A and B are shown apart, each in its own frame.
Chain A
């Protein structure tokens, strides 16, 4: 069993819709979770991180964490074609443990 799992997609949504990206993790000791976006041919860049149960909002992005269910999600409201990319979920136990990445979900926003 992989430590961090994501649906590989591709996920297609129409422009203006809400895109929902999901991630599950197996290690209950994981404390923090990160969402990275990777455009084709580019390096990953951080969108946001979350470490408390509940929702965290940043502009059009909302991260949700449910530690009891070992589930993390990223919602993108008012999706734009420029949001088309691969989204990587990552988890970390402590600052001295390595970060574990999931395989990524490919998102395509259709104009």
Chain B
């Protein structure tokens, strides 16, 4: 079956512009995560959705960052007034919500964002 897809795969934008990153999770997966990864660094948690709700937004770096999820499926991460420090790979992952603690995350290919 289809895996997690993300679009665009690459995005180059100018400082101060807004960008939208999209994530299509695996069908039926209730949990969805957004992470940011800078070159050579670990995963930086941004936000977590369970269904359409976001129980944990603690990782969003500033109020320029927002995310939503509709229909328990597609999610969009929006970055307003982009800054050069926002340049990174943005990864989305989805997982089923099981009752036996085996919730594997499946990662998308990522969106590489470059802010000039």
Contacts and interface: CB of A to CB of B under 8 A. Distances in A.
Given A43-B110, A101-B42, A101-B45, A94 B105 contact: no
B56 interface: yes
A88 B42 contact: yes
B70 interface: no
Contacts of B101: 31-32, 51, 92, 94-95
B43 A96 contact: no
Interface string B71-115: 000000000000000000001010101111111111111100000
A50 B110 CA distance: 26
A103 B31 CA distance: 22
A36 B33 CA distance: 15
B91 A43 contact: yes
A99 B33 contact: yes
A88 to B, nearest CB: 7
A90 B104 CA distance: 10
B103 A102 contact: no
Interface of A: 31-32, 34, 36, 43-46, 49, 51, 88, 90, 92, 94-96, 98-104
Interface of B: 31, 33, 35, 42-43, 45, 48, 50, 55-56, 91, 93, 95, 97-110
7 contacts: A43-B109, A51-B100, A51-B101, A95-B31, A96-B50, A96-B55, A101-B42
Given A31-B101, A99-B33, A100-B45, 15 more contacts: A34-B105, A43-B91, A43-B108, A46-B104, A46-B105, A46-B106, A49-B104, A88-B42, A88-B43, A95-B101, A98-B48, A98-B55, A101-B35, A101-B42, A104-B43
